Amino acid sequence: MTRKRLSLLAALALLLPLTGCWDRRELNELAISVAMGIDKSDNLYEVTVQVVQPGEVTDKRGTSGQVPVTIYQAKGVTIFEAIRKMTTVSPRKIYAAHLRAVVFGEPLAREGIGDALDLLSRDYEPRTDFYLLVAKGTTAARALGVLTPLEKIPANKIFESIQTAEKAWAPVRAVTLDEFIGDYENEGNNPVLSGISVIGDGQAGETKENVESVRPAAQLQNSGLAVFRKDRLIGWLDERESKGYNYAVNNVRDTVGHVPCPGGGHVAVEVTRSKASIRGSVKGGRPRLAVELNVEQNVGEVQCRMDLTQTKTVQDLERRSEQTLEEIVRGTIEAAQRKYKTDFLGFGEAVHRRDPGAWKSLRSDWDKHFETAVVDVKVNVKIKRTGTLGNSFKEKGRE
CB of 48 vs other proteins, minimal distance in Å: 19
Alpha helices in the chain (DSSP H): 2-19, 54-58, 79-85, 106-111, 114-122, 140-144, 154-168, 177-185, 209-212, 239-248, 311-334, 347-354, 356-362, 366-372, 393-398
Q: How far apart are CA 254 and CA 270, in angstroms?
A: 7
State which of residues 7, 9, 59, 201 lies at the interface with other proteins (CB under 8 A).
59
CB of 59 vs other proteins, minimal distance in Å: 6
Per CB under 8 A, which region of 51-59, 83-91, 222-230, 274-282 contacts other proteins? 51-59
Site residues for other proteins, 92-121, by CB under 8 A, read: 95, 97-98, 100
Per CB under 8 A, which region of 16-24, 188-196, 277-285, 347-355 contacts other proteins? 16-24
CB of 25 vs other proteins, minimal distance in Å: 6
Rule CB under 8 A: is residue 52 a binding residue for other proteins? yes
Rule CB under 8 A: is residue 123 a binding residue for other proteins? no
CB of 210 vs other proteins, minimal distance in Å: 21
Q: What is the dihedral of CA 296, 298, 304, 306, to 10 degrees?
A: 80
Q: What is the dihedral of CA 140, 142, 147, 148, to 10 degrees?
A: -60
Dihedral of CA 235/113/276/378: which sign?
A: positive
Nearest residue (CB) to other proteins, 142 versus 157: 157
Size of the site for other proteins (CB under 8 A): 27
Nearest 5°: the CA angle 103, 100, 246 is 70
Nearest residue (CB) to other proteins, 34 versus 302: 34
- The string of DSSP codes covering 351-376 is HHHH-HHHHHHHGGGHHHHHHH-EEE
Rule CB under 8 A: is residue 174 a binding residue for other proteins? no
Query: Which residues here bind other proteins, judged by CB under 8 A?
Result: 16-17, 19, 21, 23-28, 30, 32, 34, 52, 54-55, 57-59, 95, 97-98, 100, 125, 127, 153, 156
